[in-house]
Amino acid sequence: MPSAHRASSAAAPAGDGPPSAAGDGPPSGPVPIIDALPPGPRARLAARIVRREIEPGTTFMHEGDVTSSLAIIVRGRVALRLRVPERGPVTILTLEAGDIVGWSAIVAPYRATTSATALEPTELATLDAVDLRELLASDTEVAARFLPPVMESVAARVAATRDQLLDLFRGAGVDAW
Amino acid sequence: MVVATQPHAAAVAGSRFLPRERFDDLVAVLAGGGRRVVGPTVADGAIVFADLTDGTALPAGWTLRTSPGRARLERLPEGPGSARTFQYAVSGEGIKRFTFPSRVDALAMETDADGTVRVRVEAPPPEPLAIVGARACDLAALAVHDGVLVGGPAVDPDYAARRRDLVIVAVECAVAGSTCFCATMGTGPEVTTGADLVLAELDDGFVARAPTPAGERVLAALDLAPALEEQSMRALAQVATTRAVMGTGAVPANSRSVLMANLDHPRWDAIAERCIACANCTLVCPTCFCTGLEVTSGFDGRASGATRAWDSCFTEGFAQVAGGSFRPRPRDRYRQWLTHKFATWWDQFGTSGCIGCGRCIAWCPVGIDVRAELNAIAGDVPPPAAAPLPRHDIVAQPAISTEALEFSRATVVSVTPETADTATLRLATDDARILAGQPGQFLMVGVPAFAIPPISISRFHPDGIELTIRAAGAATSFLTKLRKGASLGVRGPLGRGWPVDDAIGRDVVIVAGGIGLAPLRPVIDAVLRDRARFKDVRIYLGARTPRERLFVDEVDALAARDDVLVRTTVDRAGPEWLGRVGIVTQLFKTVQGTGADATAFICGPERMMAATADVLGDLGVPRDHIWVTLERHMECGVGLCGHCQLGSRFVCRDGPVFSVAELGADLRREGL
């Protein structure tokens, strides 16, 4: 577990598109990764959630930037994109309700490995990166309960990325005649 | 393991004696009526079967000594038996090339003046033939080939024609080579089946018996004296000595189960270090039957022929498909060969594929000895109580039935481009077999001058079908460029399709990756035709990029229905794509409710299907309700050419659709 890291935590995500807004009140839908926690850790994390509405086309996380928050998608769809020289942005994964955006908020060096752009009107339940790191460092019960599902999500993406690397559909399903 | 002397002793009654000087008469009687007679001769330092006009060309005074990696002709020592003509155990080539030649004309394809393509199955006119000098192992191999090539369900027309008028004069072995182990395999050295006439060579002539009416007619024509009891006893003692010299137990009696339980044994790697994948073992093996089609063409491409040629599972291209080879390493190929001979052949044909002739041992340049390898893999596993292996019996010759190999004509009605390299051909056909085909079945598609690829049927119509083809090689590229009115030869429908009925009353999950949607399209059609008989219908589609999605308008129309759920994802996309990106298994988490009540149909790359089956299994879908379709190299489509084997299965005939429960670990086993 990395120590809490306070550098460059931005209060609001920077975006290319129309501005996004921090909403009031609890998320409008389920936040599975937090809802599934036992009451204590759930309450301590839920109290830190900031609801955020993202307009379609808004890039709210930029590849290489320090990640300002870890978000769980409540509604909508988000594209993770890489910028490839001479090809422009390439979408390598889309995320939907229940998925995590910005796991790099809690894994050093806390820099986003992709950009994240809303494809639809999207609602995020966000946790401030620095605040979350401090909580995970100080509250072992939260850390023990919250980190495994995050790991699971990251591991699934690693596995999926390996399959994509194999370019499975290239030439598949046809014989060499 | 096997003692077969009892029926043999009984057969001796009624034997005749053919003096050596009258062997020419035997050849003359066999040749009566224009029958071709072949037998062993000495040529190029080896014993080679060639045409006989009398007995003078036989290898008199020669023997052949064999050991692992070695076969040498040697002169018989001076003495009473020095004029013997069959005093060796096995020749290098055996009799296979007379019933199953290495190259035969298989198909003639031509385009008529009106543009119609015609494909004709070639079979030779029956040629009466007599083979002299076949051994018990040769006859056992012939019985094995009968089971493979005319035992059904498909019949090889060339083999059937050559088998129809064949007289066999067998010789019981008076010696055994160090590589011989027919006594272990239950195939010899006594000749008990498959011969019309059986000779046992003594110094001064032959004890002859005739197990069949054809053999009896030959003996009657020769008007021979009965064999003396002393001569018959000497003949019996001679073959008994051969048996005793060979001994039994050369390979473990439980080789079949030992091999299948040791598919990952380190010995495979050890063998691969010595094996040079030269394919000699398969070329000298009298039961190897794998073949490939070689297409040749004139310059104008209007007429072409296809030659059926021996192929070998040791070649790199044998298991090749567009994405690579399913057996890239020599260890994979050696394992395929040995497990096929001693294990999976039983599953496929009810016999061993090895008949114990030992040719693969003697003619292996590096001297790999299958007996030693089998014993090494068996290791310390105690063999079960000795039980005789079933004997190989020559099957009755069925009438020639080549229905499964006949092509019919189809005409291109329309061509719809799907992607940059994929097109859908709508074909008109009046072939009732094809029109009655099932979702998941495929056709072999022939046009002159090109190889004949297997193509899945992507839709059925009352008057025709659709084929969705991706241009991967020369033949498929040509097919995707055909125009309306073009003519094709088509053969099928082939294989076992999707069991749509398995999903009646259940949720239906359809998962397709890439062009895998093409063979699943008829399933979607069938389910929607009878929508009320199925519960929830969920379709998950993956493609490499948005531009490589198939049937886009149809999929959009499906997605607009309220009784079908459609989810599409692509592996990567540009910013203009607002749909999902990621692998297809990630789609499942977006939909709740898939579980034990579902039947799943999956088609895509094998790794994608395995991963999808895992996810569905985790969701509770029973493994016997998860169906996949496998891709393998296929040339015949009916289980005759041998390319598509996966363990005991012929993917073309027993599949290509299998349940995940049926495949078990084989779905993931590397190099199988």
Q: Using an 8 Å CB-CB cutoff, list chain B residues near A93.
A: 581-582
In the predicted structure, residue B125 carries a pLDDT above the cut 90: no
**Which residues, listed in sequence order, are joined to residue B171 by a DSSP beta bridge?**
B199
pLDDT, mean of residues B236-256:
93
In the predicted structure, residue B386 carries a pLDDT above the cut 50: no
pLDDT, mean of residues B376-389:
62
pLDDT, mean of residues A19-42:
84
- What span, in angstroms and rounded, lies between the C-alpha atoms of A50 and A32? 16
The pLDDT-based confidence of A166 (bands split at 50, 70, 90) is confident
Nearest to B513 among A92, A160, A172 (CB): A172
Which chain B residues in 576-595 lie under 8 Å from chain A, judged by CB atoms? 577-583, 585-586, 589-590
pLDDT above 70 covers a percentage of chain A that reads 81
Nearest chain A residue to B476 by CA distance is A177
Least confident range of A129-138, B4-13, B35-44: B4-13
The pLDDT-based confidence of A86 (bands split at 50, 70, 90) is confident
Does any CB of chain B come closer than 8 Å to the CB of residue A171? yes
With b for 16 or more beta-carbon neighbours within 10 A and e for fewer, the B523-558 pattern comes to bbbbbeeeeeebebbbbbbbbbbbebbbbeeebeeb
Nearest to B475 among A98, A168, A177 (CB): A177
Which chain B residues in 504-563 lie under 8 Å from chain A, judged by CB atoms? 513-516, 518, 542-544, 548
Across the interface, do A91 and B608 touch by the CB < 8 Å criterion?
A: no
In the predicted structure, residue B389 carries a pLDDT above the cut 60: no
The pLDDT-based confidence of B16 (bands split at 50, 70, 90) is very high
CB atoms within 10 A of CB A139: 16
Does any CB of chain B come closer than 8 Å to the CB of residue A129? no
Q: What is the pLDDT of residues B600-656, one digit of tens each?
A: 999 998 888 999 999 999 999 999 999 999 988 888 888 888 989 998 899 998 999
In the predicted structure, residue A15 carries a pLDDT above the cut 50: no
Output the pLDDT for position A174: 44
Does any CB of chain A come closer than 8 Å to the CB of residue B631? yes
**ipTM > 0.90?**
no
Least confident range of B11-25, B66-80, B507-521, B537-551: B11-25
pLDDT, mean of residues B217-232:
95
Does any CB of chain A come closer than 8 Å to the CB of residue B652? no
pLDDT above 70 covers a percentage of chain B that reads 94
The pLDDT-based confidence of B380 (bands split at 50, 70, 90) is low
Does any CB of chain B come closer than 8 Å to the CB of residue A75? no
Q: What is the pLDDT of residues B201-223, one digit of tens each?
A: 999 999 999 999 999 999 999 99
Q: Which residue has the higher pLDDT, B267 or B669?
A: B267
pLDDT, mean of residues B183-197:
94
Q: How far is B321 from chain A (nearest CA, A)?
A: 5
Number of inter-chain CB pairs under 8 A, A vs B? 125
The pLDDT-based confidence of B402 (bands split at 50, 70, 90) is low
Output the pLDDT for position A18: 45
The pLDDT-based confidence of A160 (bands split at 50, 70, 90) is confident
Q: How many DSSP H helices and E strands does chain A contain?
A: 4, 9
Q: Using an 8 Å CB-CB cutoff, list chain B residues near A175.
A: 321-322, 453-454, 472-473, 476, 631, 633-634
Backbone angles phi, psi at B73, to 5 degrees: -75, 140
Q: What is the pLDDT of residues B31-53, one digit of tens each?
A: 998 999 999 999 988 999 999 99
Nearest to B582 among A119, A160, A171 (CB): A160
pLDDT, mean of residues B476-496:
94
Q: Using an 8 Å CB-CB cutoff, list chain A residues near B452.
A: 177
Side chain identity, residue B641: C
Output the pLDDT for position A14: 40
- What CA–CA distances, in Å, run from B148 to A139, B151, B162, B553? 70, 6, 15, 46
* Strand segments (E) across chain A: 21-22, 50-54, 59-61, 69-75, 78-84, 88-95, 100-101, 115-118, 122-128
Token code pair at residue B535: 């519960």
Across the interface, do B514 and A173 touch by the CB < 8 Å criterion?
A: yes
- What span, in angstroms and rounded, lies between the C-alpha atoms of B345 and B645? 11
Interface test with A, best of B457, B578, B631 (most A CBs within 10 A): B578
Output the pLDDT for position A24: 66
Nearest chain B residue to A75 by CA distance is B590
Output the pLDDT for position B323: 67
Token code pair at residue B188: 């010899």
Output the pLDDT for position A22: 67
Output the pLDDT for position B512: 96
Output the pLDDT for position B319: 86
Q: Which residue has the higher pLDDT, B159 or B382?
A: B159
Nearest chain A residue to B633 by CA distance is A175
DSSP notation for A126-167? EEEHHHHHHHHHH-HHHHHHHHHHHHHHHHHHHHHHHHHHTT
Packing angle, helices B5-12 and B229-246, rounded to 10? 160
pLDDT, mean of residues B94-113:
92
Output the pLDDT for position B516: 94
Q: Using an 8 Å CB-CB cutoff, list chain A residues near B641.
A: none
Output the pLDDT for position B105: 92
Q: How far is B644 from chain A (nearest CA, A)?
A: 12
Across the interface, do A177 and B450 touch by the CB < 8 Å criterion?
A: yes
